[in-house]
Structure 1
Amino acid sequence: MTAAAGVPTALYRLRDSAGQLLYVGISSSPASRLGAHRREKAWWPEVDPARTSYEWLPNRPAAARAEVAAIASEAPRYNVADNPAERDAMAARAREVSRQRMANVGTMPEWDAIADDIEAVADPVERARLAGRQLAEVPVMQRALRAVRGAAVREMQAGGLSNAEIARRIGVHRNRVPQLLT
């Protein structure tokens, strides 16, 4: 078990002013995570902070299981992870952009959307693989995808996987795994 696996982690629910569930997520530092949502998510203005709720769980793996269950049973408007139809559509979109390999790299919002789509893939192995493919093919996206890949690797470590097992699953040498975290 990694140290991160034993850290208490919040399952948070974001609602609008009418009480509709907008988003479910987990974080050991929910204030920081909500700050990231505030800066990065187009749907943030719909959130009513007074209606945000937190449920603290003993560790990240327990929180991740609760998150998957909550998303599946409560169907928040803006969660796409753990929704197979949405996940498959996003992966197909990312593959299509990769195949096109446009001569013109396009506008940053297009690449930000692709990074968001990959980040929303629930399976960290698939998320790391998709991010790795994009890193190899689209230099403009490297910074965003390195962050997504690093987060996916940290999630696998928090789930108790060794660097050797992570390397095997995502197709890199085990000595490369710590470098993926930067």
Structure 2
Amino acid sequence: MSVANDRITAPAARPGQTALYQFCDDADRLLYVGITSDPKTRWARHRRYAATTWWTLATHVSVDWFAERDAAATAELRVIRTQAPLYNSGGSPSPFRDQAPEETPCPMTNMQRFREATGGGFQPPGRPWRNMDQAVAETLARDMAAGRMRCGDQLPRVAELVNRFGVSADTVHRALRRLVAAGRIERQGVGSGTRYFVIPL
């Protein structure tokens, strides 16, 4: 199946089956692997949230269907651990243990992005953040304290924060909830119209 930047035709869902998909670039480097029962919806999320990372690099994708989701998840984990996709982080072998035969650590491209975006000084040496949402919240709070975001300013949209920090949309939402609870920002609107604004301390 061919991919032309943002013009992707996802295969139709197959009721009761789970797709294992692998996006590659024009040099056949594996960019990202995932599983889904609904490729159209899942790939639309990739188009939105991976717009500045791997999505526009993809030139082709392969799809294999499994009758059981557990079987697809097992296959996905094996691909992550043996083929080291450039933009997966979940499921990659821990750098703190010996590798099993044939395992290859992922490049952790998104983790590198996260560390760069948070300044690299928030986590103890040699230990990644256990609560990435806390690091995102503290980084945004630091931006406010430095005047890079002022009272009344609207925060970047979730998709922009996902791309900045290399984290999931869920992590960004948790970070925003932390800032709301701390009285640093306020939420306005609901659903897709939700926006966040800096408020006075």
TM-score by length of 1: 0.54
- Deviation of the 1:79 alpha carbon: 0.7
Match of 1:45 among 50, 56, 71: 56
Does the C-alpha gap of structure 1 residues 115 and 65 become closer, same or farther in structure 2, counting only changes over 3 Å? farther
Q: What residue is the counterpart of 2:115 in the other structure?
A: none
- Deviation of the 1:81 alpha carbon: 1.1
Q: Which has the higher contact order (CA 8 A, sep 6+)?
A: 1
Match of 2:25 among 10, 16, 19: 16
Does the C-alpha gap of structure 1 residues 98 and 57 become closer, same or farther in structure 2, counting only changes over 3 Å? same
Q: What residue is the counterpart of 1:58 in the other structure?
A: 67
Does the C-alpha gap of structure 1 residues 141 and 93 become closer, same or farther in structure 2, counting only changes over 3 Å? farther
Give the fraction of aligned pairs with identical amino acids, expressed as a percent: 29
Looking at structure 1, the residues matched to 22 and 186 of structure 2 have their Cα atoms a distance apart, in angstroms, of 30
Does the C-alpha gap of structure 1 residues 37 and 133 become closer, same or farther in structure 2, counting only changes over 3 Å? closer
Looking at structure 2, the residues matched to 45 and 133 of structure 1 have their Cα atoms a distance apart, in angstroms, of 27
Amino acid at match of 2:84: A
Q: What residue is the counterpart of 2:133 in the other structure?
A: 94
Looking at structure 2, the residues matched to 135 and 59 of structure 1 have their Cα atoms a distance apart, in angstroms, of 36
Alignment of 1:108 with 2:156, yes or no, is: yes
- Deviation of the 1:114 alpha carbon: 7.6
Larger mean Cα displacement after TM superposition, 58-67 or 71-80: 58-67
Segments of structure 1 that go 5 or more residues without pairing to the other structure are: 1-5, 120-126, 147-182
- Deviation of the 1:70 alpha carbon: 1.0
Amino acid at match of 2:134: R
Larger radius of gyration: 2
1:93-144: per-residue Cα shift (whole Å, max 9, x none)? 433334567273954267435885246xxxxxxx8xx6785364134698xx
Match of 1:137 among 171, 175, 178: 178
1:47-101: per-residue Cα shift (whole Å, max 9, x none)? 01xx311111112222122211110111001111112355773645433334567
Aligned length: 129
Does the C-alpha gap of structure 1 residues 132 and 37 become closer, same or farther in structure 2, counting only changes over 3 Å? closer
SS at match of 1:71: helix
Amino acid at match of 2:167: D
SS at match of 1:67: helix
Does the C-alpha gap of structure 1 residues 53 and 133 become closer, same or farther in structure 2, counting only changes over 3 Å? closer
User: Aligned Cα RMSD in Å?
Assistant: 3.8
